C-alpha cells in the first residue's frame, strides 16, 4: 500500500490496504494509511472511524494522532484536533506540521501570542516552513498592542521579506 501512496495511486492503495486489513483488522500502519487516503478523498467520517480504531490499538501513534487532528479539525471538533496535534508533536516526523496546525488554530481563535509561539516552534523543525512564516506575519500584523507599546519593528515585514526570498512568487507575501 505504501508504494502506491508514494506514487499517488490512491485507488490501488485502497485495494491493498483493505486486503491487509482483511487479514489483520487492527494492523496500525494500514489503518492510518487508509484513514489518510479517506481524508484526502474528503470521506471524513470513514477516516475518523479508522483513526479511532487505530488509536484504540496505540493511543500514542504519531501518524494516527496527526491525521486524527486534521480530520477532527475538518469536522469542527477543535478540542479533539488539539489533542491529536499535541500528541503528534512528540514525534520528530510530525512535529513541524503539528505545530503549524496548532498555530493556525490559535490564529483562527485570535490568540496571537500563542499562534506566534507555535509558529516559531514549527520553524525550529523546518526553517523554510512557508506556512509557519505566513502565520508569523499574520499574527504580528493582527495582534493588538497597548497604547504605550512600541510597534513590532516591522516583524510582519521581516517574515514577508523572508517569504519573498524563499519564493518570489508567494501570493501571501505580495498580498
Which tens digits make up the pLDDT trace of 78-130?
999 999 999 999 999 999 999 999 999 999 999 999 999 999 999 999 999 99
Q: Do residues 35 and 67 lie in contact, with contact meaning Cβ atoms separated by under 8 Å?
A: yes
pLDDT confidence of 169, banded at 50, 70, 90? confident
Q: Which three cell numbers stand for residue 76?
A: 469542527
Tell me which of 66 and 147 has the higher pLDDT.
66
Q: What is the pLDDT of residue 19?
A: 94
Over the chain, what is the mean pLDDT?
A: 91
Nearest one of 155, 158, 151, 119 to 135, comparing CA atoms? 119
CA distance linking residue 38 with residue 29, whole number of Å: 14
Q: What is the pLDDT of residue 78?
A: 96
CA distance linking residue 146 with residue 159, whole number of Å: 22
Q: What is the mean pLDDT of residues 151-170?
A: 76
64: how many CB neighbours lie within 10 A of its CB?
Answer: 28
Is residue 155 predicted with pLDDT exceeding 60?
Answer: yes
Which of 87-91, 95-99, 145-149, 159-163 is predicted least confidently? 145-149
Is residue 87 classed exposed, middle or buried when 0-12, 13-18 and 19+ CB atoms within 10 A define those classes?
A: buried
Is residue 60 predicted with pLDDT exceeding 80?
Answer: yes
b/e map of 98-117 (b: 16 or more CB within 10 Å)? bbbbbbbbbbeeebbebbbb
pLDDT confidence of 159, banded at 50, 70, 90? confident
Is residue 47 predicted with pLDDT exceeding 70?
Answer: yes
DSSP assigned state of 119: H
pTM above 0.85, yes or no: yes
Nearest one of 56, 104, 65 to 85, comparing CA atoms? 65
Q: What is the pLDDT of residue 172?
A: 83
Torsion of CA 106, 94, 135, 37, to 10 degrees: -90
Amino acid at each position: 500500500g505504501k508504494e502506491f501512496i508514494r506514487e499517488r495511486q490512491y485507488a490501488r492503495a485502497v485495494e491493498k490496504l483493505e486486503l491487509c486489513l482483511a487479514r489483520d483488522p487492527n494492523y496500525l500502519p494500514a489503518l492510518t494509511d487508509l484513514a489518510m487516503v479517506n481524508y484526502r478523498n474528503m470521506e471524513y467520517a470513514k477516516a475518523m472511524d479508522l483513526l479511532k480504531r487505530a488509536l484504540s490499538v496505540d493511543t500514542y501513534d504519531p501518524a494516527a494522532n496527526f491525521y486524527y487532528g486534521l480530520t477532527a479539525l475538518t469536522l469542527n471538533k477543535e478540542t479533539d484536533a488539539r489533542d491529536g496535534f499535541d500528541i503528534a508533536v512528540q514525534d520528530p516526523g510530525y512535529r513541524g506540521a503539528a505545530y503549524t496546525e496548532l498555530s493556525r488554530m490559535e490564529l483562527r481563535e485570535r490568540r496571537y501570542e500563542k499562534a506566534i509561539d507555535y509558529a516559531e516552534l514549527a520553524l525550529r523543525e523546518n526553517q523554510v516552513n512557508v506556512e509557519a512564516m505566513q502565520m508569523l506575519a499574520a499574527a504580528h500584523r493582527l495582534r493588538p498592542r497597548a497604547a504605550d507599546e512600541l510597534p513590532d519593528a516591522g516583524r510582519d515585514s521581516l517574515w514577508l521579506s523572508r517569504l519573498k526570498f524563499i519564493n518570489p512568487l508567494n501570493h501571501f507575501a505580495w498580498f
